[in-house]
Amino acid sequence: MDSRVPAELERKIDKAIGHYPPDQKRSAALPLLHLWQEHFGLINDDAVTWIAAKLGLQPINIFELVTFYPMLREKRAGKTHIRVCRTLSCAMAGSYQVMENLCAATGIQRKTDPAAAGHTPVSVSPDRNYSIEFVECLASCGTAPVCMVNDDLHENVQPDNAMSILSQPAEKPALYPPHPLEQRIIFKNIGRSNWKTDIKTYLDDGGYDDLRKALQMSRAEIVNEVKTSGLRGRGGAGFPCGVKWSFIKPDEKKPVYLIGNADESEPGTFKDRYIIHEDPHQLLEGIAISCFALNARTAYIYIRGEFPEGARILESAIEEAREHKFLGKNILGSGFDVDVHIHRGAGAYICGEETGLIESLEGKRAYPRIKPPYFPAVLGLYMCPTIVNNVETLCAVKHIIAMGGAKYAQFGRPNNTGTRIVCVSGDVERPGYFEIEVGKVTMGQLIYEMAGGIKWGRRLKAVIPGGSSAKVLRGDEQFKIKQKQPDGSTIDVEMSVDELPMDVDSLAAAGSMAGSGGVIVLDDSRDMVWVLNNINEFYAHESCGQCTPCREGSLWMKKITERMLNGGGVTEDPHTLKTIGDNIAGRTICAFGEACAWPTQSFVEKFPEEFAAHARKSIPPPLPPENTPRELIEREQIPTSPLARDPGWEKAGADAVI
């Protein structure tokens, strides 16, 4: 044993290696890097060599991870490390101000150029007590702006009082009871008085009864119930869960794996974190049932690295479930063995894409695989049949077994069944999570009734309906949607944004998508070039870099919106932006290509006058409403970015090429 590695650390390392098949030790690379960094504070050359030797790999196999995953550090951070979320909802709520104030208070001169500062620009205070970095969406957009201080998430950080996060413990905002328009099934325990995450509370509420029931059913029966339920995946693509499951043959020769996708990184989305933090056994029960249905003896929960508390909660829930024989060998005397392991990511959005996730779980850079041939159900983890499902989808499975597929299908609308959790953030009075019957609530009800309406004194300018990848919809847009009638015929129905049902098909018909259920609301104070630039920065940072159109195009799009904001725009910029977007979408290995192209394509198309005007000269950003004195609003002197139809803007953009 290497004398510098203490016995306790090596014990943890050996335990982590044991979570993977003996011939797949490489999978333990990320867990080992986490353990090393937690102990020594950084990953240096010794770490790379030692871990490579331990796993029977070459040092380059470890080093390439250190340079890929933003959470891994080659240089020591300060004693207290602060992560400030810079993504859209947090930026709109003042996170750049939070960053400035924290730097001023800690004496940190922040490095802003990643090229000079290394791939992770962490800045350290002169006394080395503090370090700080901007990070991308921390899946807490409803309580923006948010920061992490070491492992603790601080929500609703007040920019003017940002220093308090360094002296006061993180406070969890109160969880709230359901709104009358909600139908809580998966979130039924969220915010319940006396609800705890321990197994006793869960069992007292009838927990694991659905697993008992499932173990009495045949595998085919369970898959059929899930098919009958019409459940569509809640991770983004909306693929029917039962259909995906039926790709797994009953007589598979290779081991079958199930992966719970808890990467939750799509900006605007913050539902899976609540499930994990507040009701972890619900997820484990859903996973155990799904494993039985698929004959999968091993499941991994791939949880993003920025959820350290979530990982600890799940680890302890797994221990409890093992003690009660809900996991492990011969669960509940059924003869079925199943184990669940937690695998932590290290800060890359692309790990949410299922094949990128699988590569990452195999201990490599999260480079998505080409489909075909690498459909996970055929050639997934370790080239074995694998089902990847979102956390919320797996929880829904438990309720489908409880009530039966047919009853579940009665919730929601045909082809859009059940309930789903929609997250609302941005310029609304009451941001938050709402579990709705799919398609039974309209966008207008969601924004104006459930989320309390647009911020005081403002109007709806635009809405991004399904996470930042979804195409933006204008607040005054009208759609012609084909609607099916009871007799099977279809008619064209005119709908405003407010009237759009919140379901996969309606949002697709409106030219956007329901995606991961993250609704970001933009009011009339928002400058659309500023908003797109924030989104572009996210995608330019998160592209894995494998495909030239995505790697180069995402960067160019960011550079163009950045220069437009800084007064260096040229008349052709909107056209160039659109052309770059058009040349990324459909030309890449994975759907990240579309995810980064769609915002640019749609923002430029829907707000041509703003982009044209910005291309000609930079316009000072309007004051955010929270910084605008109320008297000013009352006297109607607020400088706002006018609505798209404002004639002044149309004139400004009249001769622009778009």
Ligand X SMILES: Cc1cc2nc3c(=O)[nH]c(=O)nc-3n(C[C@H](O)[C@H](O)[C@H](O)COP(=O)(O)O)c2cc1C
Which residues form the interface with ligand SF4 (CB under 6 A)?
350, 368, 543-547, 550-551, 588-590, 592-593
C-beta nearest to ligand SF4: residue? 550
Applying CB under 6 A, which part among 86-94, 106-114, 164-172, 436-444 lies near ligand FES? Answer: 86-94
The count of residues interacting with ligand FES (CB under 6 A) is: 13
Q: Judged by CB, which is closer to ligand FES: 398, or 455?
A: 455
Q: Judged by CB, which is closer to ligand FES: 439, or 467?
A: 467
Measured from the Cβ of residue 118, the count of other Cβ atoms closer than 10 Å reads 13
The binder of 589, among ligand FES, ligand SF4, ligand X, none, by C-beta within 5 to 8 A per type, is ligand SF4
Q: Judged by CB, which is closer to ligand FES: 103, or 141?
A: 141
Q: Whole-number minimum distance, CB 72 to ligand SF4, in Å?
A: 19
Q: Please state, in angstroms and rounded to a whole number, the distance separating the CA atoms of residues 315 and 307.
A: 12
Q: Whole-number minimum distance, CB 24 to ligand SF4, in Å?
A: 23
Q: Whole-number minimum distance, CB 571 to ligand SF4, in Å?
A: 29
Q: Please state, in angstroms and rounded to a whole number, the distance separating the CA atoms of residues 564 and 546.
A: 28
| Contacting ligand FES within 98-137 (CB under 6 A) | 137
> Cα-flanking dihedrals φ and ψ of residue 523, to 5°?
-95, 180
Q: Please state, in angstroms and rounded to a whole number, the distance separating the CA atoms of residues 294 and 291.
A: 5
Q: Please state, in angstroms and rounded to a whole number, the distance separating the CA atoms of residues 276 and 465.
A: 24
User: What is the DSSP annotation of 509-577?
Assistant: HTTS--TTSEEEEEETT--HHHHHHHHHHHHHHH--S-SHHHHHHHHHHHHHHHHHHTT---TTHHHHH
Q: Is 264 in the site for ligand X (CB under 6 A)?
A: yes
Q: Whole-number minimum distance, CB 444 to ligand FES, in Å?
A: 24
- Element spanning 314, H or E: helix 308-323
| Contacting ligand FES within 241-270 (CB under 6 A) | 267
Q: Whole-number minimum distance, CB 486 to ligand SF4, in Å?
A: 42
Q: Is 265 in the site for ligand X (CB under 6 A)?
A: yes
Q: Judged by CB, which is closer to ligand SF4: 469, or 628?
A: 469
Asked whether 428 and 519 are in contact (CB, 8 A), the reply is no
Q: At 147, which amino acid appears?
A: C
Q: Is 341 in the site for ligand X (CB under 6 A)?
A: no
Q: Is 88 in the site for ligand FES (CB under 6 A)?
A: yes
Q: At 641, which amino acid appears?
A: S
Q: Is the dihedral of CA 631, 89, 98, 534 positive or negative?
A: negative
Q: Is 422 in the site for ligand FES (CB under 6 A)?
A: no
| Contacting ligand X within 405-434 (CB under 6 A) | none
| Contacting ligand X within 553-612 (CB under 6 A) | 590-592, 595
Q: Is 146 in the site for ligand FES (CB under 6 A)?
A: yes
Q: Is 390 in the site for ligand X (CB under 6 A)?
A: yes
Q: Judged by CB, which is closer to ligand FES: 98, or 321?
A: 98
Written as six digits, the tokens of 438 are 């799919």
Q: Judged by CB, which is closer to ligand SF4: 70, or 145?
A: 70
> Cα-flanking dihedrals φ and ψ of residue 217, to 5°?
-95, 165
Q: Please state, in angstroms and rounded to a whole number, the distance separating the CA atoms of residues 641 and 572.
A: 22
Q: Judged by CB, which is closer to ligand FES: 144, or 318?
A: 144
Q: Please state, in angstroms and rounded to a whole number, the distance separating the CA atoms of residues 82 and 327.
A: 37
Q: Is 97 in the site for ligand FES (CB under 6 A)?
A: no
Q: Please state, in angstroms and rounded to a whole number, the distance separating the CA atoms of residues 287 and 296.
A: 10
Q: Please state, in angstroms and rounded to a whole number, the distance separating the CA atoms of residues 304 and 307.
A: 6
Residue labelled with tokens 């919809």: 473
**Residue from 230, 235, 608, 653 that binds ligand X (CB under 6 A)?**
235
Q: Judged by CB, which is closer to ligand X: 137, or 463?
A: 137
Written as six digits, the tokens of 285 are 């029960």
The binder of 267, among ligand SF4, ligand FES, ligand X, none, by C-beta within 5 to 8 A per type, is ligand FES
Q: Is 90 in the site for ligand FES (CB under 6 A)?
A: yes
Which residues lie across from 519 on neighbouring strands? 424
Q: Is 257 in the site for ligand X (CB under 6 A)?
A: no
Q: Judged by CB, which is closer to ligand X: 13, or 350?
A: 350
Q: Is 149 in the site for ligand FES (CB under 6 A)?
A: no
Q: Judged by CB, which is closer to ligand X: 239, or 247?
A: 239
Q: Please state, in angstroms and rounded to a whole number, the distance separating the CA atoms of residues 31 and 351.
A: 15
Q: Judged by CB, which is closer to ligand X: 145, or 517?
A: 517
Q: Is 503 in the site for ligand X (CB under 6 A)?
A: no
- Asked if omega into 373 is within 30° of 0 (cis), the reply is yes
Q: Please state, in angstroms and rounded to a whole number, the distance separating the CA atoms of residues 620 and 42.
A: 41
Q: Whole-number minimum distance, CB 142 to ligand FES, in Å?
A: 8
Asked whether 446 and 142 are in contact (CB, 8 A), the reply is no
Q: Whole-number minimum distance, CB 584 to ligand SF4, in Å?
A: 8
Beta-strand pair 432-437/419-426: antiparallel
Q: Which of 464, 492, 148 is nearest to 304 (CA)?
A: 148
Applying CB under 6 A, which part among 110-118, 141-149, 205-213, 574-582 lies near ligand FES? Answer: 141-149
Applying CB under 6 A, which part among 83-91, 542-550, 578-586, 617-625 lies near ligand FES? Answer: 83-91
Asked whether 500 and 507 are in contact (CB, 8 A), the reply is yes
The binder of 89, among ligand X, ligand FES, ligand SF4, none, by C-beta within 5 to 8 A per type, is ligand FES
Applying CB under 6 A, which part among 24-32, 232-240, 425-433, 444-452 lies near ligand X? Answer: 232-240
* Strand spans (E) along 68-179: 80-85, 123-124, 130-135, 147-149, 152-154
Q: Please state, in angstroms and rounded to a whole number, the distance separating the CA atoms of residues 422 and 441.
A: 11
Q: Is 504 in the site for ligand FES (CB under 6 A)?
A: no
Q: Is 263 in the site for ligand X (CB under 6 A)?
A: yes
Q: Is 340 in the site for ligand FES (CB under 6 A)?
A: no
The binder of 551, among ligand X, ligand FES, ligand SF4, none, by C-beta within 5 to 8 A per type, is ligand SF4
Q: Which of 656, 501, 488 is nearest to 564 (CA)?
A: 656
Q: Whole-number minimum distance, CB 391 to ligand X, in Å?
A: 7
Written as six digits, the tokens of 152 are 């603790």
Asked whether 592 and 353 are in contact (CB, 8 A), the reply is yes
**Residue from 57, 237, 638, 658 that binds ligand X (CB under 6 A)?**
237
User: What is the DSSP annotation of 447-504?
Assistant: IIIIS--BSTT--EEEEE-SSTTSPPEETT-EEEEEEE-TTS-EEEEEEEGGG-BSSH
Q: Whole-number minimum distance, CB 464 to ligand FES, in Å?
A: 12
Which residues lie across from 338 on neighbouring strands? 328
The binder of 581, among ligand X, ligand SF4, ligand FES, none, by C-beta within 5 to 8 A per type, is none
Beta-strand pair 386-390/256-262: parallel
Which residues of the shown chain bind ligand X in the complex (CB under 6 A)? 233-237, 239, 241, 261, 263-266, 350, 352-354, 388-390, 393, 590-592, 595
Which residues of the shown chain bind ligand FES in the complex (CB under 6 A)? 85, 87-90, 137-141, 144, 146, 267
